[in-house]
Structure 1
Amino acid sequence: MRTHGTEVYHYPGGAGKRLATCLQVQMVPELSTADWGAKNANFQVLRETDCPVVLGSFWYGWKNALPNLLTRRALTTHIAVVFCSG
């Protein structure tokens, strides 16, 4: 079992659910992480934004490796491209 995964949050009942689901489907195979799903969350940024909005969490559970992974420009660019094309 992989202890790291990708999840995308959306506001419950909001229009972001469809966007979150589409992004989740795109991100998991591209990042080779476990699929932790598109999830409801009552985060202020999701609740207070007046347009469809999502919040992605990538490689969650990689506590030691994540800072090193995110310093690689090519990797962060790849995440941004996949997220924007989702």
Structure 2
Amino acid sequence: MNILLKRVLDRLVRTGNLKVTGPKGSAVVFGDGSGEPVHMHIKTAHAERAITFDPMLAVPEAYMDGELDILEGGVLGVMRIAFQN
């Protein structure tokens, strides 16, 4: 996962338990560990770059395009983390 995306998600996700696996396989956990765990896998470098610059738009687009999988927690879990932060 690129360092800029790590910084963006670290600032955005303060509460909750979000694990993100990048296209190269590295995984990083964000949040304070509270609540239902959510695990997202970003499959492509294109999706990783898009999410870095506009996460609120690019996450749903990447999911619909098949460039992002939600491995744990489901769509509801992702939305819960987004609204909590």
TM-score normalised by structure 2 residue count: 0.30
Name which structure has the greater RCO, CA cutoff 8 Å, separation 6+: 1
* Rg larger for: 1
